[in-house]
Structure 1
């Protein structure tokens, strides 16, 4: 206009494009080149020149609340459970800009205060900034008490009141302040630690008692407005995913090293249990169930792995706590760590546990139970600490981790239901109810855990993918049927012998079992049974199972009633399981079975009875002699094998003999054997003990084997 041309622009101080030159505000001689021309652009200049300027002293600072970044890029945070009370905040160069928003048509006043405690009135006195919606003029008050006359307007304060509006039930005001305390009623704000903000609003004329109030813990982080790097301001990234990745890689490396590179003496040491089992009682004490029994089930090697796991938890605790300063956040991350690693032990079918740790599904499933209990505890702490800050039923995004509380609450309820139905009494008395509740509740819990927070999605993606892959691999079991014959040789048991399974029979490891379903009974019921190698009536190698009915209307009872002396198709998933001991490292193997616990040990005995390098003896304890008939199809022994077989009937008063296989009689003794007499002679030799049977017998044998320093493998189906 009138020959005068002006233009204004804004740019970052840092060089963004390759052709940019960064601006140094501390340089008093920053060079600015200028030019203008009289011909159409681009043409040669009419005149040109340069100037030395001090931009740091000549440029006036803009209010933080007026910056484009605060206006357009900072997101709102919910402070109250109902999502009515919200806040925007931006901190840069020691200045804090805050916009407070309330959506309530009945509100007559609202405000916030930076305070040392989660209460409005404190000692020393702190101040609050309040907007009376009838005046649209925020005021600062000293909160010396709760009565109206004790709420004192302050003429001198450190707040720069920026703006305020109130329209159609939407109210807001904006202010700016410094971090440090400028007047006695100020509460200083520290960077990277929790700062407490109290909020309140009322429906009666100000000053009046609040309609609702609450507190929120906010962590303030400084922001460089000269940077052009965009970021989701308010979301705090944590190192948890990287810690878990490092722990998983380290654990896999150690497992491979120990499993495949260590020798016999090292394996024997690592296979020792950490503690002797408690004395068995039908009315188990809580300390036995939760402490001594789990410790007795842990090997030294597993204990070392747990120490590494505790180190992983400690790293998560320290680093997450340092980055968020919130136990409410840290407890959630610790809960997710347990969730990650409790999924892996039940990802059966991939055989990763054998490759990396030389173990099997049924032995690492105890970690699934332990981690499940710890997960519930930490999740409960997480819920409790957050319920004090936010309504756990809100679907609004909350906090520095951008969580949706409602989804987390649904996940928690699902996992609690899962945990209740996984209690031992439910698992043993109503297995199907436990099994399918477990499946449904787990899926619901994991889905809503995914929806709960972005960090959880990052952390869980790998273990969930592994778990899902194991399902896909096992799904093929539904499409391969195998013909089998069903025969009962004693009350409450049924022997299942498959047609020729030559290829599969040769690959069954000692201590193996299969998950078995019988379509004519149910497609959905799958139960684990130990595999026993045998031959068909035509002499073809195969294998089978001996199933015992535990209830009158259970899976085995229905199979026996419907299929006895018939043939039917079965579905198999497996084989799973192996021995925790390397039998080729021992000269003697003492096998002790109680009741139906004979099934895995009979397979081992059948494989070892003709092995010249290992002297195997089998001791089988039952209540009455009729039970010896239950496995007669699989007991095809010669005289040499019979000499290594020792039978005991507990509820008879005299010894006897019976014919189990062919015409060869086998003697049995009355009463129970003295376990000390069985094991004492092996002390100091290269001998091991394998036991399977009722919990009382298994625990007692375990304690005596420990007393005589004999390595022990205990078969269990407490899945």
Structure 2
């Protein structure tokens, strides 16, 4: 055993030693050998009895690749062999046995000892894997590598998740040796040379590229010994293939046959093909791929494709063509967008001169004599159709036998423009003439023959050498194209340019993708031999002696002087933090005006100045002006953070967004400075009045510096205050100034009779009184008024901006009202005759309206949602508004009835906490909100402080339990409880806290006046497990003595005054008996025994009859609160009727009270509502109806009361 361990340790030491000598650095000096027809390349070296191998895959689409040393070029062999498989998914390599060709036939090899992974990397779609393996076969699936002999290497790659079928594969014959790896030649078994290439990519890339014709291909070159290094680049990454050939003529097909180097995008490889004929099937792969070229590097990105090859100058195969040094060599090129082999889409030919000293030039392109500097002193001619502002400006100068031209496009929405030297003013002529077309989208210029007016008749000219493009640029939406062409016609479609008389120039431009019909076009005649010098009158010398005038307290100063009909301006900025600054001649002190004005904006990032139209206060509303003709920049400089901009502009308004400068009075100049990347909101701004004079002084009168944008006033707060005042006045009148039955008791409609789709809406309407409808309509009117007032205050805003402001103020109006219904207190009873629990529905409605309006407001301002600085005429900070919306919207979700009922505690505490956060965020959102919320917050805060008395109302309540799941908590008789029993409104409720359960939870329960009128009690029934009521009942059952309570109240007031009715009908179901029982117990102690002459409407106790109907499911439920109901006989004015509606109780009966010992009779079934609500039985009487119970019972009773014309009150808790 010890000997075996020693042998194993020795073997492991040998493997580790071999692995240690195999590394990426050890292989870096060796050339990468591309495996034939694929994106996989290989290099390696034999080290003792192991092979050190590095595999490189260049294909960003590949998800895995495999490399196999195999006995044949077949993937599957017998006996079976293995493959090294690398997966991008986990960047790991392992041996897999190739059992079958199906994916499930590729099995992970249990014995991995013959593979030692040294290093792997995956960077930008390029995978490099370095590993070592024994030369000999170590496992049953290994195939040995014999140094100096041909080894078959199969490869495969896949674009889907492994295991799956490969998407591309191939096979190569290579030879491993102690000097490297080389491809095996077809004609010999000897190892080819592995001499490292002399081509260095950085040196080749440093040479100037030469473009092949008008296509996307370019060449760079150096010469190393007897070879030429070629760096080939395609600027069109969408091509499926492209190629070029060294040829004996400009024909693609020649005799004898020549070959071409073709790049295949499918597998990112470069291959040599013999061009035997023009048909695709006659383009044949060359038998010896390495005889004349050596592919050194291939890269493919989203922007370009590039590869580096080494080729011998001399012809090394029968289809090679030699490359001449310092003499023209014909290079033909072609490209395609379909699968290779196929016919090309575009092709061309160039004559290139490869220099022995390095570099390559186009033999047919003369060095340019035309450049931008040459044209700088000359004035531009505006090409206009006479209707719209000119978008094209043309400069020109004859230089020898050529003319130098510069076209400037100032409209950033134009996608292409064309310029044609033409025999007539017609676009289409006979014979055909051509036009130079510049495609703005891809920045290319080509000559097109104008065969006809249809887009498909505008054809790329076969001759492109008649125009020499010097350069093109696009800065801030302005395109500049400089080119040169001969005066004479050098191609069949050229028209000569006259050097003595006028020449006709036609032009066109389009807003769609070229080729397409033009959108604007025109024609003009130009005297090319008479260019006009453009000498500016504005200069620093003209401003010498002019004192700089500061713009308010800001960092900008101006020096100005009037010269003729223009003003010369030098603006200086002294602010090292600034990234841009702007100043505008404006009609008002507002940055945004109607009609729109422009501003001169200077950006330090590119040291450029341009006119921008100030359309909206948002960054995307500052738009580059299509017409820049009123601004002429003379010079600018940025030195040590100090910016100096010298420019000239007309005194008059010459563009649609210019504002004229006064020469007799002050002119308003607004300014702004920003510290972030333009376009963005300004950090500092202001405005001043400036006198522009033709003298050595510039007068500022008087300085009106504004450090922040002027706030435009709105009237939302005034409208809200007015609306609430009208509501309150009408409420007081309806409550205290008379019997407004139509307002206080008349309902909009009857309740629904079935659970149809709109039953909830129907029920809501049936619960609304006409007086409440008046309040709702007043609020709707206020919403419309607010929206209209906001739109009127911002007449110049864009529709998006206007509605964003309107929805913001509508949501603010809702927010102002939303706190009022939850500000509990008796003030609502005095104002409107109802208590706050009746107003909860308005709180919910206002909340939904607020969230909807805020959501629309956010959508319209979505681009600004995370902006965290104050801006605009309303001085808002959008980010705080966004946080406020998240807070309130999440509250609205939890307030959804199903969620609220099921998870009340979660809803309640989330509501309490997040509402505070939401209010803080919304107050930080805007100054207007802070002003608007003062009164609502003060009212809510005052009532909250008043309600805090509940923390001092502590009682030790006695506990009684008459039924399972129900307890009665009775407060001791004290001065306070006696007062409550005598003075609280019928059907009142208290907020109750049980500290032994939770010191935070407060829940509403109806208060029941005890039969003796000396105190109040609460009857609590557990309806669902794990609720607050269930916990109170459970604790009370366990205690059965007393329980500590805190109570806050009383709250609640019924909408009917019982003392003003002859007949009071009480109908209750289940635990809904509690408010009615309190009324029954309280009335005998509070009603006067005789009528009062002061208020004849109040009935004497003997003249009121109370019908008390109670429905339960079982007789035992009649004893739910028997200590409060049966401890004393009912008053004479009360006629009790009890009903048992359970399925098991079909006959009338009775149950004995444990308190009184008397039998309590009941009737089987439900109350006979037809009999109870027989109007004929109440002729001449005033009748009111109260109901509290299940929704179905309440709906039926409400329907009967509505049909009978009785005043109605429904006791519900909608929390």
* Structure 2 CA distance for partners of 1:188 and 1:562, relative to 1, 3 Å: same
Contact persistence 1:512–1:600 (CA under 8 A): yes
Who is 1:700 aligned against?
1196
For residues 224-282 of structure 1, the C-alpha deviation after alignment (integer angstroms, 9 at most, x for no partner) is 9977887654321111122222222222222222211122xx2354321212222354x
CA distance in 1: counterparts of 2:1000 and 2:619, whole angstroms: 59
Contact persistence 1:493–1:549 (CA under 8 A): yes
Contact persistence 2:1201–2:1208 (CA under 8 A): yes
Who is 1:279 aligned against?
753
Judge which range, 468-477 or 296-305, deviates more: 468-477
Contact persistence 1:683–1:709 (CA under 8 A): no
* Structure 2 CA distance for partners of 1:90 and 1:357, relative to 1, 3 Å: farther
Cα displacement (A) at 1:476 = 2.4
CA distance in 2: counterparts of 1:362 and 1:593, whole angstroms: 19
Contact persistence 2:742–2:771 (CA under 8 A): no
Who is 1:561 aligned against?
1034
Contact persistence 1:692–1:698 (CA under 8 A): yes
State yes or no: 1:715 paired with 2:1211.
yes
Who is 1:246 aligned against?
722
Matches within 5 A, 1:672-687: 672-681=1166-1175, 685-687=1181-1183
CA distance in 2: counterparts of 1:679 and 1:176, whole angstroms: 91
State yes or no: 1:91 paired with 2:586.
yes
Who is 1:327 aligned against?
803
* Structure 2 CA distance for partners of 1:182 and 1:298, relative to 1, 3 Å: farther
Who is 1:579 aligned against?
1054
State yes or no: 1:669 paired with 2:1142.
no
Who is 2:784 aligned against?
314
Cα displacement (A) at 1:114 = 3.1
* Structure 2 CA distance for partners of 1:400 and 1:170, relative to 1, 3 Å: farther
Q: Tell me which of 875, 900, 912 is aligned to 1:402.
A: 875
For residues 464-521 of structure 1, the C-alpha deviation after alignment (integer angstroms, 9 at most, x for no partner) is 1111122212222123311101222112211111110223322221010000011111
Residue aligned with 1:488, SS: strand
Matches within 5 A, 1:551-630: 551-564=1024-1037, 565-608=1040-1083, 611-630=1101-1120
Cα displacement (A) at 1:713 = 0.5
CA distance in 2: counterparts of 1:583 and 1:712, whole angstroms: 11
* Structure 2 CA distance for partners of 1:188 and 1:579, relative to 1, 3 Å: farther
CA distance in 1: counterparts of 2:579 and 2:601, whole angstroms: 11
Residue aligned with 2:1009, SS: strand
* Structure 2 CA distance for partners of 1:700 and 1:690, relative to 1, 3 Å: same
CA distance in 2: counterparts of 1:181 and 1:649, whole angstroms: 91
Matches within 5 A, 1:60-459: 68-69=551-552, 71=554, 91-92=586-587, 98=599, 100=601, 113-114=612-613, 128-129=624-625, 141-142=626-627, 156-157=629-630, 159=631, 182-183=654-655, 233-263=709-739, 266-279=740-753, 281=755, 285=757, 287-289=758-760, 291-325=761-795, 326-349=802-825, 351-388=826-863, 390=864, 392-459=865-932
Contact persistence 2:833–2:1055 (CA under 8 A): yes
Residue aligned with 1:612, SS: helix
Cα displacement (A) at 1:213 = 7.7
Judge which range, 85-94 or 404-413, deviates more: 85-94
> Of Structure 1 and Structure 2, which has the larger fraction of its residues in strand?
2
CA distance in 1: counterparts of 2:921 and 2:642, whole angstroms: 32
For residues 121-180 of structure 1, the C-alpha deviation after alignment (integer angstroms, 9 at most, x for no partner) is 9xxxx9935xxxxxxxxxxx55xxxxxxxxxxx5x43x5769966578999979999999
CA distance in 1: counterparts of 2:642 and 2:1115, whole angstroms: 84
CA distance in 2: counterparts of 1:524 and 1:119, whole angstroms: 46
State yes or no: 1:530 paired with 2:1003.
no
CA distance in 1: counterparts of 2:647 and 2:1069, whole angstroms: 78
For residues 649-703 of structure 1, the C-alpha deviation after alignment (integer angstroms, 9 at most, x for no partner) is 1112111112335133221111222323321235664101101111222122212
Q: Tell me which of 936, 939, 950 is aligned to 1:463.
A: 936
* Structure 2 CA distance for partners of 1:355 and 1:100, relative to 1, 3 Å: farther
Who is 2:1152 aligned against?
659
Judge which range, 597-606 or 551-560, deviates more: 551-560
Contact persistence 1:683–1:710 (CA under 8 A): no
For residues 411-434 of structure 1, the C-alpha deviation after alignment (integer angstroms, 9 at most, x for no partner) is 111101111111111222121111
State yes or no: 1:490 paired with 2:931.
no
CA distance in 2: counterparts of 1:595 and 1:514, whole angstroms: 20
For residues 559-586 of structure 1, the C-alpha deviation after alignment (integer angstroms, 9 at most, x for no partner) is 2222231212100010000111122221
Contact persistence 2:681–2:871 (CA under 8 A): no
TM-score (norm 2): 0.44
Contact persistence 1:587–1:615 (CA under 8 A): yes
Contact persistence 1:642–1:666 (CA under 8 A): no
CA distance in 2: counterparts of 1:279 and 1:358, whole angstroms: 29
* Structure 2 CA distance for partners of 1:172 and 1:421, relative to 1, 3 Å: farther
For residues 84-114 of structure 1, the C-alpha deviation after alignment (integer angstroms, 9 at most, x for no partner) is 88866673479957353658x5x57686643
Cα displacement (A) at 1:436 = 0.6
Contact persistence 2:601–2:612 (CA under 8 A): no
> Of Structure 1 and Structure 2, which has the larger fraction of its residues in helix?
1
CA distance in 1: counterparts of 2:876 and 2:1047, whole angstroms: 42
CA distance in 2: counterparts of 1:378 and 1:169, whole angstroms: 46
* Structure 2 CA distance for partners of 1:230 and 1:375, relative to 1, 3 Å: same
* Structure 2 CA distance for partners of 1:68 and 1:626, relative to 1, 3 Å: same
For residues 496-552 of structure 1, the C-alpha deviation after alignment (integer angstroms, 9 at most, x for no partner) is 1111022332222101000001111111111100011005xxx67111011111222
Residue aligned with 2:1139, SS: strand
Residue aligned with 1:522, SS: coil
CA RMSD in angstroms comes to 4.0
Cα displacement (A) at 1:718 = 0.7
Contact persistence 1:605–1:617 (CA under 8 A): no
Contact persistence 2:956–2:971 (CA under 8 A): yes
Q: Give 1 or 2 for the bigger CA radius of gyration.
A: 2
Cα displacement (A) at 1:619 = 0.9
Q: Which has the higher contact order (CA 8 A, sep 6+)?
A: 1
Residue aligned with 1:399, SS: coil
Cα displacement (A) at 1:370 = 0.8
CA distance in 2: counterparts of 1:605 and 1:552, whole angstroms: 31
TM-score (norm 1): 0.73
Contact persistence 2:689–2:703 (CA under 8 A): no
Judge which range, 88-97 or 374-383, deviates more: 88-97
* Structure 2 CA distance for partners of 1:237 and 1:663, relative to 1, 3 Å: same
CA distance in 1: counterparts of 2:753 and 2:687, whole angstroms: 57
Who is 1:649 aligned against?
1140
Residue aligned with 1:100, SS: strand
CA distance in 2: counterparts of 1:175 and 1:221, whole angstroms: 20
Contact persistence 2:1104–2:1133 (CA under 8 A): no
Who is 2:111 aligned against?
none
* Structure 2 CA distance for partners of 1:619 and 1:321, relative to 1, 3 Å: same
CA distance in 2: counterparts of 1:659 and 1:594, whole angstroms: 20
Residue aligned with 1:617, SS: strand
Residue aligned with 2:735, SS: helix
